[in-house]
Amino acid sequence: MSARPLIVFDVNETLLDLETMEPTFTRIFGDRSAMRLWFANFIMYSAALTVAGCYVPFTDIGSAVMKMLADTRGIRIGDDDRKELTEKFSTMPPYTEVPPALRKLREAGFRLFTLTDNLLEVQPRQLEHGGIVDLFERRFSADGVKHHKPSREAYAYVERELGVDPSQLFLIACHTWDTLGAVAAGWEAALIKRPGNDVLGVGPQPQIVGNSLDEVADQLIARHKAKA
C-alpha cells in the first residue's frame, strides 16, 4: 500500500473563519472591507520583514498594520481596539465543514499537523476554542525558526522536527502564497478556494484544488486509494 503523506494544515482562514473579524473592522474603520485590506497587508509585511531578515512576532505585525492603516485614515487606535483584535483573532470559529472533514481524514489513516505563523501560545487557544485541537498530532509555529511562511526555512523546520523528507509532506492551505512556498520546498499541496482566494496561474501549482476542506479530503482519500 502507498504510504500516506503527513498532512500539515495552515490555520488562519484555512481552518478558522477569518470573516468573523469583520465587525471589529467595521466598528473601527466604518468599512467592512477594511478587514481584507488589513489581512492582505498583514501577510505582505510578514513576508517583507522575513525577506529583509527582520523577524517580528506575527501578532505584533498584525497590531502594527492595523495602526498603520488607521493612521492613513486619521483614525486613532486605542488599547481596547488592540485587545479586541487579539481576542477576535484568537477565537475565530472553524468553518462548519472543518471538524467532520478532519475526522474523515483521521479515520482514513492520515496523520494531521499544523504549521502557522501564529505564536505557539496563540495556536492552542484558537484550536481549543474551535473544538479541534485534539485532532492534530503536533502543532508547529514559524516562531520556532524565526521565519514566516512562505520562506523555505519555515517548511524545513517541520521536516527536521518530524524527521521526514519534503516528499512525505502535504500542505493544505487556502492561500496560494503558502501552497507556492510548500511546493517549491518539495512538498505537495492542496488549495482550498475560500472567499477571495483562488489559483495563481504562475509558479509552482498545488496538486489538489477544492472549494472546501471536505472536497479536498475526499480527493486526498481517493488519490491514496488509487495509488494503493
Q: What is the DSSP string of 47-103?
A: HHHHHTT----HHHHHHHHHHHHHHHTT----HHHHHHHHHHHHTPPBPTTHHHHHH
- pLDDT bracket for residue 228 (50, 70, 90): low
Residues 96-144 pLDDT 10s: 999 999 999 999 999 999 999 998 888 888 999 889 999 999 999 999 9
Compute the distance between CA of residue 175 and CA of residue 193 in angstroms, rounded to an integer.
8
Residues 59-107 pLDDT 10s: 999 999 999 999 999 999 999 999 999 899 999 999 999 999 999 999 9
Is 28:75 a contact under the CB 8 Å cutoff?
yes
* Cell (9 digits) for 116: 502557522
Residue 204, amino acid: P
- pLDDT bracket for residue 2 (50, 70, 90): low
Compute the distance between CA of residue 133 and CA of residue 122 in angstroms, rounded to an integer.
12
Compute the distance between CA of residue 5 and CA of residue 24 in angstroms, rounded to an integer.
38
Is this structure's pTM higher than 0.85?
yes
Quick one: pLDDT at residue 1? Answer: 39
Residues 21-31 pLDDT 10s: 999 999 999 99
The answer on pLDDT for 214 being more than 90 is: yes
Q: Which helix (H) or strand (E) holds 187?
A: none
Residues near 123 by beta carbon (within 8 Å), at least 6 away in sequence: 11, 114, 116, 139, 141
Residue appearing with cell numbers 462548519: 96
* Cell (9 digits) for 80: 481596547
Compute the distance between CA of residue 16 and CA of residue 197 in angstroms, rounded to an integer.
14
Give the up-direction half-sphere exposure of residue 148: CA atoms within 13 A in the CB hemisphere.
Answer: 24
Compute the distance between CA of residue 217 and CA of residue 228 in angstroms, rounded to an integer.
17
Quick one: pLDDT at residue 120? Answer: 85
Residues near 13 by beta carbon (within 8 Å), at least 6 away in sequence: 39, 174, 175, 194, 197
Is 102:111 a contact under the CB 8 Å cutoff?
no
DSSP 8-state secondary structure symbol assigned to residue 4: P
For residue 146, CA distances in Å to 37, 156, 162, 219, 222 come to 25, 12, 18, 33, 36
Pairing of strands 138-141, 112-116: parallel
Share of the chain above pLDDT 70, in %: 99
